[in-house]
Amino acid sequence: MAWKFCVCLVTFLTFHVAYSGHGVLFQTIKQRMLNEQRKKFYRADKLANVTTLYIEQPLDHFNRLDERTFMQRYHVIDAYWNDPGHGPVFLFIGGELPLEEREVNSGHHLEMAQKFHALIFGVEHRFYGKSVPNKGLTLEVLQYLSSQQALADLANFISFATQQYSLSDSNTWISIGGSYPGSLSAWMNLKYGHLIFGALASSAPVRAQVDFQEFNDVVGAGLSNTKTGGSAECLKNVIAAFSQVDQLIKEKQLPKLQEDFKLCENIASNLDIQTFVGTLQDPIEVAVQYNTGSGEFSRIGNVCYQMMETADPYKNLIRYTEDLLIHQQKKCLNASYESFLEEVKNYPWYYQTCTEFGYYETCKDGSQCPFSHMVNLDSDFAMCKDVYCILPEAVYTQVNFTNQYYGSDHPKNGRILFINGSIDPWHPLSVLESLGGNETAIFIDDASHCEDMAGHVTDITPALRQALDDIESTVKSWLDEAARQK
């Protein structure tokens, strides 16, 4: 692996959030959107006591001669667990975010824990949140950040928890996760089926893909969906606004763009151009992905209102960006490639995109992608090389390995329920139809990213309510089946 021999000796700091996206502004927007979504999950009438503890984990599970360790945070809820000898255990999996108490203490899994009298463990992902090695995340340490190591953490945790809480084979483990943790949940059942009886995988992009063109096609469909606050005119205006941005770039009117969008730094290179246009589209992508909350940047309807405010789509995009800066209390838009690199150093998730998943969003020719067609893979590949010393061919090789290792979107021999929503831009990389046997799928019309995980909140649609019933029925069938086998 070429990056081992490079001179990218960067020390990484703690982080807030990263998944997809191109700019610094994107991270603060996505964090706020996730907070909005978690507020929706968080039900004051459904709270339980949470105990937060730590487990010492090997830094490298696959080299037992390596004695280095780190402390991994986990949360426990035992308020509903009234049959320790036989009660089920829910393993709530953390991902590329800090896993806080409130996330474990809210949502549909908490409702099901009450219904099925389950013990809940919420395990934070290695190298995120408070589960970071004491010496920080140098490249030497980052090589141990992988989904394979994360799954081994969970397997080791199950062994630890079984002993600490006097569990036995009579206790059935169900893994639960959404987004990247949804993939981990599915993979946990595939790779450690002797430990995890069944897996709920919400919005799980189990097919790794370097060039993820389908993402923005779904965003475009969401912007035109009248049931979720969009319209054909909204999509038309977004396309027109970004087309004008592209035209100004082609005409080399970069000073005008710099002035119109209040850039902190001048556009000086092709990588700056890609970072800039990517930063413009990020908040719109996030609004479609989550479509939740009450803020002016939180829902498709809010975006469309602003992008249709006047008859000039380009001016609407300028106004939308200005309002976003005001909301974030920023004087200028930080959208240069160099500023993006500084951001990457604080977000370990980018390392996983370079070494496992890709997930880089572009617009394919002839599609209804509403954004700039200036965005290609150059800035993503440059980031992998400049920060982690990983070359483009290595990205492709490692993404292919991920699909070969886990089975992509056609896994075999699992007991997995895949749950996806039609306006979630990540759903093209998941399993959308039942594969036969115990690998089944639920596809929810007009549902957003991980929306099912909120549970029975007040504003759910009939389709989502039916999906929640189906999820609970599936979990009950698993528990009944496990009981018959014991």
- Closest among 443, 438, 436 to 421, alpha carbons compared: 443
The CA distance from 62 to 46, in Å, is 40
The CA distance from 246 to 374, in Å, is 7
> Does 179 qualify as catalytic in the annotation?
yes
Q: Of these residues, 272, 380, 424, 452, which one is catalytic?
A: 424
> Does 298 qualify as catalytic in the annotation?
no
Helices 270-290/378-388 angle, 10° precision: 100
Q: Of these residues, 430, 448, 449, 452, which one is catalytic?
A: 449
3-state secondary structure the chain: CHHHHCCCCCCECCCCCCCCCCCHHHHHHHHHHHHHHHHHHCCHHHCCCCEEEEEEEECCCCCCCCCCEEEEEEEEECCCCCCCCCCCEEEEECCCCCCCHHHHCCCHHHHHHHHHCCEEEEECCCCCCCCCCCCCECHHHHCCCCHHHHHHHHHHHHHHHHHHCCCCCCCCEEEEEECHHHHHHHHHHHHCCCCCCEEEEECCCCCCEEECCHHHHHHHHHHCCHHHCCCHHHHHHHHHHHHHHHHHHHCCCHHHHHHHCCECCCCCCHHHHHHHHHHHHHHHHHHHHHCCCCCCCCCHHHHHHHHCCCCCHHHHHHHHHHHHHHHCCCCCECCCHHHHHHHHCCCCHHHHHHHHHEEECCCCCCCCCCCCCCCCCHHHHHHHHHHHCCCHHHHHHHHHHHHHHHCCCCCCCCCEEEEEECCCCCHHHCCCCCCECCEEEEEECCCCCCHHHHCCCCCCCHHHHHHHHHHHHHHHHHHHHHHHHC
CB atoms within 10 A of CB 302: 18
The CA distance from 407 to 401, in Å, is 10
> Does 449 qualify as catalytic in the annotation?
yes
Q: Of these residues, 175, 179, 203, 422, which one is catalytic?
A: 179
Q: 378: which 2 tokens?
A: 């150059």
Residues marked as catalytic: 179, 424, 449
